[in-house]
Chain A
Amino acid sequence: MYFASRKGITLVGLFFGVVAAILQRVGNPPNMGICIACFERDIAGALGLHRAGAVQYIRPEIIGFVLGSLAAALIFKEFKARTGSAPIVRFILGFFAMTGALVFLGCPWRALLRLAGGDGNAILGLLGLIAGVWIGVLFIKSGYNLGRNRKTNTAVGWVMPAMMVGLLLLLLFRPQLPTVAVFFSATGPGALHAPILVSLLAAVAIGFLAQRTRFCTMGAIRDVILIRDIHLLCGVFGLLVGAAVTNILFNQFHPGFQGQPIAHTEHLWNFGGMVLAGLAFALAGGCPGRQLFLSGEGDGDAAVFVIGMIAGAAFAHNFAAASTPAGTGEWGPASVIMGLVVCLGIGFTMRQKA
């Protein structure tokens, strides 16, 4: 099967990178053509779960990722409703993955896109990600396991796609109740976005291809450490190269550490935030993109992880843990430490015989 080949995933990664850079060109925030963490955070804001006025928008990319994966899973007969592998733990992992990502200001996809745009701070984030995944691998090697999922009613697998359709309706019709129902930023990153149809189509294509290739940014690192396999890493390099080349062509490449868009220069916490995120992704078995694609193919546990991330975003902004370009939030570092303690606790205590 072509998509499962190394050439297949490399080309698909390349395509993702090019598309992400184009999305920046046509309206998405700089170095943020695609950022699962940022975009889920924007959705949390649009729904009023946090009130950070600059980051509120219903991002069609998130909707498209799930629906594109759903389409691929249905066409290739891989849609299968399943759940029951410690969902509450997956919620917590999603929650703290988001906490870490918002201290760094980006998920692994955006870390790559930031690097492809010349943002040197992303190097610290990527090193942190590698460190976090490495810790996760140590747990996996020593028997960490959240247990098996089970087949369940088909309707369970449709919950996440249905929620995405609901979000799409909110985006298109922007209902106004007696008080404001959905919030859309007037300024800031939340106000920067590509045309809805462009974002949606791009994301459906990405979701479709990611479902076929099993693209995963965390898995890329994990597989190298755990089983010496560079297959997924080829996809990640593809993304990096595709975005970097497109950025250079569009004059979107600006190397340096200072003044990078939607980024800060606190190296320790750029690193630390992503250690937490990487560990949480490794313990949950997939990067935030992969969790969306899995939720599109009927994985209820991945869907709970996604909802955990959205809840985590709301808390991160409400509790002053999210960073801004000025630096970490008042409670950012403390939240990272708390998240690390919780994730280490999960790693040490959740062991089951396979």
Chain B
Amino acid sequence: MIEKLNVSGLSCPQPVFETRKKMKEMGEGVLEVRVDSGTSLDNITRMAVNEGWKVEVKEEQKEYILILSKLQDG
């Protein structure tokens, strides 16, 4: 199952903090995060990579969808 999180419009550090909290809860799997600022995009990407998750980014009308994934065998 793909979990979803929308952190658009939140001030620092909420976007990265909420995403990290969710990742810790999940442990592994696929998390789709909607963000609306380049700062949050950079911050979440950096944090997720540091935590060993894979990051894919899609751009949608000035917003970004980050697909964070960590799979048992990956």
List residues of chain A with CB under 8 Å of any chain B CB.
1, 4, 76-78, 80, 82, 85, 140, 145-146, 148-151, 214, 216, 219, 222-223, 226-227, 229, 231, 284-286, 301, 354
Task: Name 4 extra pairs, CB < 8 A, besides A227-B13, A227-B16.
Answer: A4-B42, A151-B36, A219-B13, A301-B11
Whether the pair A214, B39 counts as a contact (CB closer than 8 A) is yes
Whether the pair A285, B13 counts as a contact (CB closer than 8 A) is yes
Residues in B with CB closer than 8 Å to A146 are 11
11 A–B contacts from the bound complex (CB under 8 Å): A4-B46, A82-B9, A140-B14, A145-B10, A222-B13, A227-B47, A229-B46, A231-B46, A285-B13, A285-B14, A354-B14
Whether the pair B9, A150 counts as a contact (CB closer than 8 A) is yes
Whether the pair A76, B8 counts as a contact (CB closer than 8 A) is no
Residues in B with CB closer than 8 Å to A222 are 13
Return the contact of A76 from the options B17, B38, B50 (Cβ within 8 A).
B38
Whether the pair B11, A285 counts as a contact (CB closer than 8 A) is yes
How many residues on the B side are at the interface (Cβ–Cβ under 8 A)? 23
Return the contact of A80 from the options B11, B13, B62 (Cβ within 8 A).
B62
Whether the pair B12, A145 counts as a contact (CB closer than 8 A) is no
Chain B's closest residue to A3 (CB) is: B42
Whether the pair B16, A78 counts as a contact (CB closer than 8 A) is no
Main secondary structure of the interface of B (DSSP, over half): helix
Minimum CB–CB distance from B15 to chain A (whole Å) comes to 9
Minimum CB–CB distance from A187 to chain B (whole Å) comes to 40
Whether the pair B42, A354 counts as a contact (CB closer than 8 A) is no
List residues of chain B with CB under 8 Å of any chain A CB.
7-14, 16-18, 20, 36-39, 42-43, 45-47, 50, 62
Q: Among B7, B16, B43, B47, find the residue whose CB has the most chain A CB atoms closer than 10 A.
A: B43
Q: A80-B37, A140-B17, A227-B47 known; A214 and B62 CB under 8 Å? A: no
Chain A's closest residue to B9 (CB) is: A148
CA distance A354 to B6 in the complex (A): 9
Minimum CB–CB distance from A3 to chain B (whole Å) comes to 9
Closest 9 CB pairs of A and B: A148-B9, A285-B11, A285-B12, A78-B38, A4-B42, A149-B9, A214-B39, A354-B18, A148-B10
Whether the pair B12, A286 counts as a contact (CB closer than 8 A) is yes
Chain B's closest residue to A146 (CB) is: B11
CA distance A222 to B38 in the complex (A): 19
Residues in B with CB closer than 8 Å to A286 are 11-12
Residues in B with CB closer than 8 Å to A4 are 42, 45-46
Whether the pair A80, B36 counts as a contact (CB closer than 8 A) is yes
Chain A's closest residue to B6 (CB) is: A354
Q: Among A76, A219, A223, find the residue whose CB has the most chain B CB atoms closer than 10 A.
A: A223
Whether the pair B43, A214 counts as a contact (CB closer than 8 A) is yes
Whether the pair A354, B7 counts as a contact (CB closer than 8 A) is yes
Residues in B with CB closer than 8 Å to A77 are 62
Whether the pair A214, B42 counts as a contact (CB closer than 8 A) is yes
Minimum CB–CB distance from B16 to chain A (whole Å) comes to 7
Whether the pair B11, A219 counts as a contact (CB closer than 8 A) is no
Whether the pair A354, B10 counts as a contact (CB closer than 8 A) is yes
Minimum CB–CB distance from B40 to chain A (whole Å) comes to 10
Residues in A with CB closer than 8 Å to B9 are 82, 85, 148-150
Whether the pair A140, B13 counts as a contact (CB closer than 8 A) is yes
